[in-house]
Structure 1
Amino acid sequence: MDEMKGIRWKQRFENFEKSFKLLEKYSKEPISTELERVGIIQFFETTFELAWKVLKDYLEAEGYVARSPREAIKQAFQAEIIEDGHLWMEALSKRNLTIHTYDQELAEKLVKEIQKQFLPILRNLYDKLLKDR
């Protein structure tokens, strides 16, 4: 592992960890207002962005190349860093959608997906990288 690249992913992990913990904390609370939904979605967008970037940096430290979120997810799945590559791609798709649109019905549905589907995969990544840190 290249020492500088190893340091980079660990530094990025610290930011991912902070964002993930906030997402996890507030996802467990009852979410009933528009402001709460928007907040959870924003935490998800930020956490997901940091997740793929920490994956990219981790992969680079291991000698792989990933230039985009899609490449990082595919490579991380092939390297068995993450599980359920299809769900990660779904999370990427939803993250991309939320950046460009806001619709109350979509937001309500997305919050449920974040809580039930996306938070667990982010938790798995967090646990895996925490061990490697």
Structure 2
Amino acid sequence: MDQMNDVRWKQRFENFEKSFKLLEKYSNEPISTELERAGIIHFFETTFELAWKVIKDYLEAEGYAAKSQRESIKQAFQVEIIEDGHLWMDALSKRNLSAHTYDQELAENLVKEIQEKFQPLLRKLYEKFLKEI
């Protein structure tokens, strides 16, 4: 493992961890207002962005090359860092959509998906990397 890249992914993990814990804390609360939905979506966007960057940095430390979000997710699935590649791609798609579109129905559906599918997905990544540190 390249020492500089080893440090990079661990530093990025610290930021991911902070963001993930905020997402986890607030996504388990009842969400009823537009502001609460916007907050959960923002926490998801930030946490997902940090998640794929941690994956990318970790892959690089392990000697793999991955430049984009999709490449990083595909490579992570191939080397078994993540388990459900399709769900990760769905999360990526929803993250990209949420960053460029606002619609109340979309927001309500996305919050439900974050709570039921994406937050547990991110938890698995968090737990995996926590063991690596």
TM-score range, shorter chain: over 0.9
Describe how 1:1-133 pairs up with structure 2 within 5 A: 1-133=1-133
What secondary structure does 2:66 align onto?
Answer: coil
Relative to the length of structure 1, the TM-score reads: 1.00
Q: Identity over the aligned pairs, expressed in percent?
A: 80
Distance 1:68 1:4 in 2: 20
Q: What letter matches 1:55 in structure 2?
A: I
Q: What letter matches 1:23 in structure 2?
A: L
Distance 1:67 1:82 in 2: 17
Relative to the length of structure 2, the TM-score reads: 1.00
Q: What letter matches 1:35 in structure 2?
A: L
1:44-77 deviations in Å (ceiling 9; x for gaps): 0000000000000000000000000000000000
What secondary structure does 2:67 align onto?
Answer: coil
1:3-58 deviations in Å (ceiling 9; x for gaps): 01000000000000000000000001100000000000000000000000000000
Distance 1:69 1:125 in 2: 15
Unmatched 5+ stretches in structure 2: none
Aligned length: 133
Distance 2:120 2:59 in 1: 21
